[in-house]
Structure 1
Amino acid sequence: MRSGSVYIFQIRVPKDLCGHELPLVRVSLGALTARQARIRADIMAAHARLFFEGVRTRKLANGQDEDGASSRSEAYGPGAPQFTGETPLEVLAEARGYLKAMASVISGEAPTSPPHQEAALEGLRGLVGIAREVAKAPAGNPIIMENADLLKARYVAKVQGADRAMATATTTTVGTSGEAPKAAPPAPESRIDALGPAAQPPAPSHSPKAAPRQPVPAFELDRRTVARPASSKPLFSTIAAEYFEARAVKSGEDNPDIKTARYRCDLFVELVGDHPVDTYTSADLQAYVKFLKYWPAKEKDRPRDLSAREIIAMNQDLSRKPLARKSLREGYVGAVKAVIRSRMAVYDYSNPFAGVTISYPDTATPSQAREPLSALQLSKIFAAGVGRGFLDEAMLPLLGHLTGRRLGLLVHLTGADIREKYEGVWVAQTNGIIKVNKTWQRVPIKTQASTTFFVLHDFLREIGFVEWATSQGDGFLFPELMRLADPSKSASSYMARLFKRAGITGKHKEVFHSLRGGYIEMMRDSKVDARDRKLQAGHTLSDEHDLYGFRAISESRAREMAHVRLMERVDYSMFKGLDFDKLASAKRTSGRKKK
């Protein structure tokens, strides 16, 4: 099962082992991909079944009577072991301990070093570090190179001290057991000599032809295993789980944005590693971007049976289209940064990515600037939409053109959202919460400013759309879309196809969102005040002066906006005399539409 970004293996102890139904044994598998989790779960299940068979064999060997009581005490006498492994709780504890050990073995986690070896390991790490600096010749750290002998003696003393402590402990143990003492381990100098010339620190070269070795950039290292400072802060996966749980409470567990962000954070853990949250550096983020250079943009190009690294290796030739710069920056890197920032106050740590500058690959194409639609293009779109015979394709382009609001909000409008705000001026407004299939959901609005009312152009009243919309009451204006799993996404697909049918193929530069920009231009041409333009479009007021007064459009300005001059040379005639009930009742069917 999955808990946040962490997978958990669970299995029940067979009832025949103890005569009772025990709670599930749960063991964390860590932050993995779904494929990795399935593989490890299969291995864990095999180990669990072998363990259960071992318990059965042991019980038979010990001999049990019909009441389930063991004859072990009779066989062992008064000094029988306290842990028999035959009571229900003992079986449960033994199974849990065994499976936790197997999970650690399968994950390949390195065992912690014994305390008496820490000093020796520190000494060896120091000697290796000195050797690396000396090998760099002129490019090495001058402080280390000038004091190499002194530093080397210090680290050798650490190794010798650890060896003496271990030898003393060994002698004490041997003396108490009566065995002959073993020979003391060789001195560090002889140990290094025994490894051969390859282990010796190379002498600095004084040849003018010798080129200094270039250090490997930090982001090129395997960030999963790179040494990090000790930390008591939680792991990234823990922070991510808490972050997404909080978002799920706000937006719902099935929110597609949450699922996408969680997937991208799981990808970060798989590629960079799951570390304490305050031990990440800019190199980790740059390494993530380095991998994502070869990450296919389309989901169909990422085989589910391959790991992330296998998919990246497969696309080294960039035969599959890579991610765009905006997706990299705001989607993948943005999700990781959001998780890191989310719990800074709770766990008291600084943002390791604050002020970090990331270098993005040239293959990550920049965002394409949206371009306005011409009068001829608008006429073709309107004609194609009305000709299709579906209410959404007929009216959504016109609503976008005459309100400047986003597609997701327009799709979720109900009849009750339409009202006469001022005499002869009709507006639409959503409170952000709607009921779909007996479940309350949030309207996909981008900002809180989108919940303010916006003016409907008087042309919508002239063609009868406002009268028809208000007659729908609490019903959705576009029920054919609202019955789908993701109305906004489906509407976006339908609009893209409609634009293509109308001959609008501007390589994603002339899209439905261009209608929003076009309406803002219409308001600007009609000298509508900048503050009112922001309120109409649902943009947040940022200027301090604009925040004073009512954060809504006044009556006089609303009348101006309701009668903004329509765009010249656009053919609006196809909207007059439409049967909106007929358009709303039309159903899409699979297959080719009959002519």
Structure 2
Amino acid sequence: MISAKQRKKARPRSSPGLYLIKTGSAYMFQMRLPKEIAPDCKRPIRIGLGVIRKAEARRIADQLAAIARQKFKQIGTAMAAGDETEFWPLMEDMLGFAERDASTAVDSSQRALLAVTMLLKSALYDMRGPVPKLTPEQEGNFAMMRGLVRIGQEKARKDAGEDYDKQLGDNAELLAERLVDRFQNDSGSALTPPSDNSPRTKGKISARSGLINSKVKTEADMDRRNVQRDPSTKPLFSEAASAYLAQRVEEMGKESKDIGTAETRLTLFIELIGDHPIDRYTPTDLQAFINLIKFWPPKEKHRPPSLSAMEIIDSNRDYSKGWLAKTTMQNGYMGVIKPVFSDAAPRYDFDNPVKNVALKYPKSARDKIPAEPLSSKKLNQLFRTCVQSPYIDNVMLPPLGLLTSRRLGLLAHLVGTDIKEKFEGIWVAEANGLVEINGKWTRRPIKTSESGRYFVLHNFLVEIGYVEWARKQGGQFLFPQLMNLVDPSKTASQYMRRLFDKAGIKESPGERFHSMRGDYITQAREEKKIGERERRMQAGHAVTGDDHNKYGWKTLTESEAELFANLPLNPKIDFSVFRGLDFDSLWKARRRKK
């Protein structure tokens, strides 16, 4: 309606701009993580900028957004490559730690949010921190380096047959030596730059330079135990590590083998790098540790207690006793060392000196071998070998792995009460993080929150009587012999490796128990009625995609569960070998100690 008496509209408030919000008089940077890397993360990144001018807030927001987008792309690439090979190592480098404890349900979306937030806070600190004025000694250092670079450039031009400064190029080695000597005697004299007025001529191509030497020793090659460090009032690394492990024991409720392993590896770090005040370590110390343990023998028999750590390392510099895998260095050693610093920083009030450090791992370190598919012929060999065993774990863990797609560690920890009839005629298994057995609480290896949701048991397991038998076990473990050992998951993996070897499946190290998880997912992918969302829930993976894909139940519905319960069996595989088994006898059988 047009009217001369129409009320004037209120003047719109000025928007803070992209990636900015204003609370009172203060600005705050805000940015959401892309759905591709954090599908379940509803909370945006928020970083307070304080009370500053709008133009300054705009400038900072643009810089932080650019850094964030770069990291989003890096995280997305790592997640696509796989959790074990790329994502967790990247989190380790960004966070300064990437602890993955079997007792902790880890959400990769939340970890990505934390990593990027910490990175942006660090970047904000660098943006605001004034550049410190150089000391006379630093100015002399930089002047000497500029002079050496100038001399090296002219020598390189001469060797390449280009126009070069004759005075510098023809006398490069002598001038470089004199420049260093002059700096050592009088650092201020190095501030005089080389002359720009000397004649230039054409050089002859030469293959020898002599100014750059790849054999020079770096800080990481020094004995870090004896490196001079500034005085500190903070506790020693050993005290901080003890406090960290004590807290972990308190959280877990009891001491485990993992704690013992962590103690051993933290002690090795002290033996090789030294026990210094916790705030006086540097990234170089961690790199020096990596450079040394690349010679650390992986097997305990090659590490006699009568030898010192350095003597053990010196005995394996030719790698005659093997070498550690890259994932062992990243997760097994750095995975217990870095958290000590992360835990101690707020506890003792200091800045974490190794936060966001990117370490270089040796090329000799073995990469993780990816799982490979198993042929129907090899699965038949495996199943025939399974039923010849007198032990319940050897007999039933392989078919459970193939018919559920779940990880070996989780299957080994199942108890009878985990088995339930979720829908009519459809049985599922649901394993919580903690289970009480004979009055004692046991923590189960739930890798992520999605892994703890129920998964469907194939109807074949019902047909052979296994589900009914498992239900009768009540609160008892279905694989008791494994659960009586110190590390059930690791022992189960060793048992399965021996079983595969006995079945003749040993040509490729990629053909292992985890292969059956991939085989199940591949078969489910061939069923047109089963979508990606349903496959991910059955396998214990996070549901990804757009918002629409995440709506609905977070667990399988009755119709979806029915598809998995009746998934067609591979006609090339003989499952009949599992019919008529005496599960009670198998459950009671025990291995004898040799």
If the TM-score is normalised by the length of the shorter chain, which range does it land in?
A: 0.5 to 0.7
Q: Does 1:339 align with 2:333?
A: no
CA distance in 2, matches of 1:270, 1:502: 44
Matched residues, number: 409
Aligned to 1:581: 584
| 1:541 CA displacement | 4.2
Which structure has the bigger radius of gyration? 1
What whole-Å deviation, never above 9, does each CA across 1:225-268 have from its counterpart, x for those lacking one? 21223444333222212221111112244312222122112111
CA distance in 1, matches of 2:429, 2:227: 56
The answer for unaligned runs of 5 or more in structure 2 is: 1-136, 149-172, 190-208
What whole-Å deviation, never above 9, does each CA across 1:90-148 have from its counterpart, x for those lacking one? xxxxxxxxxxxxxxxxxxxxxxxxxxxxxxxxxxx99xx9xx99999855897994695
Equivalent residue of 2:507, what SS?
coil
Structure 1 pair 239/137, CA: closer, same or farther in 2 (3 Å)? farther
CA contact (8 A) 1:418 1:428 kept: yes
Aligned to 1:282: 283
Q: 2:541 aligns with which of 535, 539, 542?
A: 539
The residue type equivalent to 1:505 in the other structure is K
Instruction: Determine what percentage of the aligned residue pairs are the same residue.
Output: 45
CA distance in 1, matches of 2:240, 2:543: 33
CA contact (8 A) 2:235 2:277 kept: yes
CA distance in 1, matches of 2:579, 2:479: 19
Structure 1 pair 484/280, CA: closer, same or farther in 2 (3 Å)? closer
Structure 1 pair 275/391, CA: closer, same or farther in 2 (3 Å)? same
Aligned to 1:554: 557
The residue type equivalent to 2:357 in the other structure is V
CA distance in 2, matches of 1:210, 1:410: 61
CA contact (8 A) 2:409 2:445 kept: yes
The residue type equivalent to 1:490 in the other structure is T
CA distance in 1, matches of 2:527, 2:418: 27
Aligned to 2:411: 410
| Equivalent residues in 2 for 1:44-123, closer than 5 Å | none
Structure 1 pair 138/298, CA: closer, same or farther in 2 (3 Å)? farther
Equivalent residue of 1:440, what SS?
strand
CA distance in 1, matches of 2:479, 2:242: 36
CA distance in 2, matches of 1:501, 1:211: 59
Structure 1 pair 587/355, CA: closer, same or farther in 2 (3 Å)? closer
What whole-Å deviation, never above 9, does each CA across 1:432-480 have from its counterpart, x for those lacking one? 2223454211112222322211111111111111111112222222223
Structure 1 pair 523/150, CA: closer, same or farther in 2 (3 Å)? closer
CA distance in 1, matches of 2:522, 2:274: 48
CA contact (8 A) 1:137 1:212 kept: no
The answer for unaligned runs of 5 or more in structure 1 is: 1-124, 153-208
Aligned to 1:102: none
CA contact (8 A) 1:403 1:457 kept: yes
TM norm structure 1: 0.63
Structure 1 pair 261/429, CA: closer, same or farther in 2 (3 Å)? same
| 1:507 CA displacement | 4.2
Structure 1 pair 147/580, CA: closer, same or farther in 2 (3 Å)? closer
Equivalent residue of 1:421, what SS?
strand
Aligned to 2:364: 363
Structure 1 pair 576/357, CA: closer, same or farther in 2 (3 Å)? same
Aligned to 2:225: 224
Equivalent residue of 1:565, what SS?
coil
CA contact (8 A) 1:139 1:212 kept: no
The residue type equivalent to 1:286 in the other structure is Q
Structure 1 pair 429/210, CA: closer, same or farther in 2 (3 Å)? closer
The residue type equivalent to 1:577 in the other structure is G
Equivalent residue of 1:409, what SS?
helix
Structure 1 outlier segments of 4+, above 4 Å = 132-152, 209-215, 541-544
RMSD of Structure 2 on Structure 1 (CA): 3.3
Structure 1 pair 549/145, CA: closer, same or farther in 2 (3 Å)? farther
Equivalent residue of 2:267, what SS?
helix
CA distance in 2, matches of 1:307, 1:358: 25
CA distance in 2, matches of 1:566, 1:504: 22
Aligned to 1:461: 462
Bigger relative contact order, structure 1 or 2, given CA contacts below 8 A and separation 6+?
2
CA contact (8 A) 1:433 1:442 kept: yes
Aligned to 1:439: 440
Aligned to 1:419: 420
CA distance in 2, matches of 1:555, 1:305: 62
Equivalent residue of 2:554, what SS?
coil
Q: Which moved more, 1:448-457 or 1:435-444?
A: 435-444
Q: Does 1:493 align with 2:489?
A: no
CA distance in 2, matches of 1:211, 1:259: 49
Structure 1 pair 148/415, CA: closer, same or farther in 2 (3 Å)? same
Structure 1 pair 241/515, CA: closer, same or farther in 2 (3 Å)? same
Equivalent residue of 1:416, what SS?
helix
TM norm structure 2: 0.63
